Amino acid sequence: MSLRSARYALRVGLLLVCAVHASCGAPPDYTAEELEAAKAELRDHVRLRTFEAGLLFGEDWVARAPDDAELRALYARQLAGWRLSREIHEQADAILADDPDEPWGHYVRALAYLSEIEYEPAIEPGRRAWEALRRPEVAAAHLESIRNRGAEHLSEVLSTLDPATRLSPEILLMQAEIQSQAQYELNDPTWADSSLATYSELRERWPDHVDGYLGAAEDLFRANRAEEAISLIEQAVALAPGSVDVRQWHWWILFLSNVLPADERRTAVEASIAAFRDSAPESVRGLYALADMYRDLGDEERAKEFEAQVIERAPLSRHATLIYGREYSTERSKLNELYREEGRDSPEYRAQLEVVRDAVYRYLERPLYTDRYKESAYMGLYSALGDMDPVPVEELAEAVRGLARYDRMNPHITYGTALLNMVDSTPYALEAAEIARSRGLQAAVDRAQLTRNSSRTEGEWEQSLRYYLSIVYDAMGWAYFKGGRIEDGRHALERALELTEANRETRYHLGQVYEHFAAEAEAREDDGAETEWFDRAEDSYIAGLGSTRMGENPSQAAIEALYERRNGSRAGIEEYLATLDERDQIRRRDRILESRVEAAGTYEPFHLPRLDGSLVDSADLEGKIAVVHFWGTWCGPCIVEMPEYQKFDVRYRDDPDVRVVSISNDTSREVVEEYLTRNNFDFEVLMDDGYVQRAGIPAWPTTWFLDRDGYVQFVKRGNTAKLDEEFTWRVEAIREEARRP
Is the pLDDT at 15 greater than 60? The verdict is no
User: What would the mean pLDDT of 356-360 be, rounded to a whole number?
Assistant: 97
Which of 602, 590, 729, 619 lies closest to 737, judged by CA? 729
* CATH code 3.40.30.10 region(s) in the chain: 600-739
User: pLDDT tens digits, residue range 183-201?
Assistant: 887 777 888 899 999 999 9
Single-letter amino acid, residue 441: L
User: What would the mean pLDDT of 476-490 be, rounded to a whole number?
Assistant: 97
Is the pLDDT at 740 greater than 50? The verdict is yes
Is the pLDDT at 268 greater than 80? The verdict is yes
Q: What is the rounded distance in angstroms from the CA atom of residue 712 to the CA atom of residue 566?
A: 40
Beta bridge partners of 662: 629, 685
When pLDDT is cut at 50, 70 and 90, the band that residue 17 belongs to is: very low
Q: Which pLDDT belongs to residue 136?
A: 97
Q: What is the rounded distance in angstroms from the CA atom of residue 712 to the CA atom of residue 704?
A: 6
Q: What is the rounded distance in angstroms from the CA atom of residue 682 to the CA atom of residue 642?
A: 11
Give the Cβ contact number of residue 616 at 10 Å.
17
Q: Which pLDDT belongs to residue 25?
A: 54
Percent of the chain with pLDDT over 90: 78
State the DSSP code for 49. T
Q: Which pLDDT belongs to residue 717?
A: 87
φ and ψ at 685, to 5 degrees?
Answer: -125, 130
Q: Which pLDDT belongs to residue 43?
A: 97
Q: What is the rounded distance in angstroms from the CA atom of residue 168 to the CA atom of residue 473?
A: 49
When pLDDT is cut at 50, 70 and 90, the band that residue 615 belongs to is: very high
Q: What is the largest CA-CA distance in the chain?
A: 107
Single-letter amino acid, residue 320: A
Q: Please tell me the CATH code under which domain 1-149 is placed.
A: 1.25.40.10
Q: Which pLDDT belongs to residue 186?
A: 74
Question: pTM for this one?
Answer: 0.77
User: What would the mean pLDDT of 253-274 be, rounded to a whole number?
Assistant: 95
User: pLDDT tens digits, residue range 379-393?
Assistant: 999 999 999 999 999
User: What would the mean pLDDT of 227-246 be, rounded to a whole number?
Assistant: 97
Q: Which of 121-125, 230-234, 375-379, 546-550 has the lowest mean pLDDT?
A: 546-550
Q: What is the rounded distance in angstroms from the CA atom of residue 250 to the CA atom of residue 242?
A: 12
Alpha helices in 280-365 (DSSP H): 284-296, 300-313, 318-342, 347-364
Collapse the DSSP code of 662 into the 3-class scheme (helix H, G, I; strand E, B; otherwise coil) and give the result: strand
Q: What is the rounded distance in angstroms from the CA atom of residue 122 to the CA atom of residue 126?
A: 6
Q: What is the rounded distance in angstroms from the CA atom of residue 703 to the CA atom of residue 635?
A: 14
When pLDDT is cut at 50, 70 and 90, the band that residue 704 belongs to is: very high
Query: Cα separations (Å) of 492 from 142, 312, 437, 497, 529?
Result: 40, 52, 10, 9, 22
> What is the CA angle 534-539-541, rounded to 5?
95
Element (H, E) at 20: helix 3-24
Q: Which pLDDT belongs to residue 540?
A: 92
* CATH code 1.25.40.10 region(s) in the chain: 1-149
Let me know how long the chain is. 741
When pLDDT is cut at 50, 70 and 90, the band that residue 247 belongs to is: very high
Which of 395, 409, 333 lies closest to 364, judged by CA? 395
Beta bridge partners of 631: 664
When comparing pLDDT for 362 and 152, which is higher?
Answer: 362
Is the pLDDT at 626 greater than 50? The verdict is yes
Q: Which of 349-353, 372-376, 469-473, 541-545 has the lowest mean pLDDT?
A: 541-545
Collapse the DSSP code of 159 into the 3-class scheme (helix H, G, I; strand E, B; otherwise coil) and give the result: helix
- What lies within 8 Å, CB to CB, of 244 at 6+ separation is 49, 51, 52, 276, 280, 283, 285, 286, 289
Element (H, E) at 607: strand 607-609
What dihedral do alpha carbons 329, 88, 108, 118 form, nearest 10°? 20
Q: Please tell me the CATH code under which domain 600-739 is placed.
A: 3.40.30.10
User: pLDDT tens digits, residue range 289-347?
Assistant: 999 999 999 999 999 999 999 999 999 999 999 999 999 999 999 999 999 899 999 99
Mean pLDDT in the chain? 91
Is the pLDDT at 18 greater than 60? The verdict is no
